[in-house]
């Protein structure tokens, strides 16, 4: 690090380096000669080098035990030493100058290897998971309510993962993460389709508190009247138990089967879609599937019980998080 210093007697710069900093001062004399004390001051070059170094790693250093625990590799920091360090399961990439000697060692997450494999780079700063919810499972963690989406996620198949064993291990880690993952909103027990999970509380709040577009595929027990299109779009339909009328919704009745329709809305009142069709039209919804949520759709071949990891960084940018 460079610094500049000048001679107190004749105001000439120290001959050692003409690019040194003026902030350095003479503190005293020693045996007939001036004693120079160098006060290091960061120059632009030093700051740029520091920024580049930070940029190259991309992440703040973090304690090993906290990192391993929050990513779901084990269910407590105290077990990191016995299960990972003592068994030599933890190591660092060859370009790292640090050696892991204790669970409190601070490391760059990008350099860490567990069982010889790098950590999943797209899961280091939080996860956002798209799950195709099947029927007969509730969006709850209460075991008394029966089969839930967390149980189903544990059994899920990870999309675009060639190694089935690795896919199962990743899903298990999601469920052990700290903070824990939660569903973004809820779907009824018999409703299928797009359901998101995340461990990012701010992102979850943004999705549930903002007006986010949701698309549902509806099947009714009878033909849906064409007049319902204008009724749904009017924004005047009031549901039982709700103080305010529903916001305008777009309804498209299928041409080949009038008992089926696609509805697009931006709010999520309790049992809203079912109530809109039953209370507003007298039609009983026999099948309901959410095909899109906040622009996330199910790809071809994305069957019930399948999941995939989404880009959480892009999702955060939508809400400026």
**What confidence score (pLDDT) does residue 308 get?**
95
**What confidence score (pLDDT) does residue 82 get?**
85
Q: At which residue do the structure tokens 């991309």 appear?
A: 58
Residue 136: CA count within 13 A, CB half-sphere? 0
pTM of the model: 0.79
Which residues of the chain, if any, have pLDDT below 70?
1-58, 76-77
**What confidence score (pLDDT) does residue 209 get?**
92
**What confidence score (pLDDT) does residue 316 get?**
96
What secondary structure does DSSP assign to 17-38, as a single string? -TT--TTB-EEEEETTEEEE--
Burial bucket for residue 62 (CB in 10 Å: 0-12, 13-18, 19+): middle
**What confidence score (pLDDT) does residue 239 get?**
93
Cα 134 from chain centroid (whole Å): 23
**What confidence score (pLDDT) does residue 273 get?**
96
151, 143, 214: which is closest to 184 by C-alpha? 214
Instruction: Identify the active-site residue in 188, 199, 221, 257.
Output: 188
User: CA Rg, the chain, in Å?
Assistant: 30
**What confidence score (pLDDT) does residue 31 get?**
39
The answer to whether residue 65 is catalytic is no
Helix-strand-coil percent breakdown of the chain, rounded to 5?
30, 25, 50
């Amino acid at each position: 690090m460079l610094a500049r210093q000048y001679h107190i007697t004749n105001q000439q710069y120290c001959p050692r380096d003409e690019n040194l900093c003026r902030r350095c001062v003479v503190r005293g004399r020693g045996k007939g000669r001036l004693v120079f004390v160098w006060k290091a001051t960061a120059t632009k070059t030093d700051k740029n080098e520091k920024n580049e170094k930070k940029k190259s790693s991309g992440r703040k250093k973090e304690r090993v035990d906290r990192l391993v625990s929050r990513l779901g590799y084990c269910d407590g920091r105290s077990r990191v030493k016995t299960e990972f360090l003592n068994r030599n399961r933890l190591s660092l990439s060859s370009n790292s100058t640090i050696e892991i000697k204790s669970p409190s060692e601070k490391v760059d997450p990008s350099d860490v290897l567990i069982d010889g494999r790098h950590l999943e780079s797209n899961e280091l700063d939080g996860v956002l998971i798209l799950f195709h919810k099947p029927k007969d499972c509730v969006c709850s963690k209460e075991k008394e309510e029966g089969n839930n989406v967390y149980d189903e996620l544990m059994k899920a198949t990870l999309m675009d993962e060639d190694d089935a064993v690795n896919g199962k291990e990743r899903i298990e880690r999601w469920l052990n993460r700290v903070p824990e993952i939660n569903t973004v909103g809820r779907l009824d027990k018999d409703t299928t389709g797009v359901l998101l999970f995340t461990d990012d509380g701010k992102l979850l709040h943004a999705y549930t508190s903002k007006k986010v577009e949701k698309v549902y595929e509806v099947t009714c027990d009878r033909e849906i009247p064409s007049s319902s299109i204008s009724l749904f779009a009017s924004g005047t339909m009031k549901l039982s138990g709700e103080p305010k009328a529903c916001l305008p919704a777009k309804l498209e009745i299928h041409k080949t089967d009038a008992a089926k329709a696609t509805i697009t809305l931006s709010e999520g009142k309790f049992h809203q879609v079912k109530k809109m069709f039953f209370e507003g039209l007298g039609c009983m919804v026999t099948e309901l599937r959410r095909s899109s949520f906040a622009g996330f759709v199910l790809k071809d071949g994305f069957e019930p019980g399948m999941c995939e990891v989404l880009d959480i960084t892009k999702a955060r940018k939508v809400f400026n998080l």
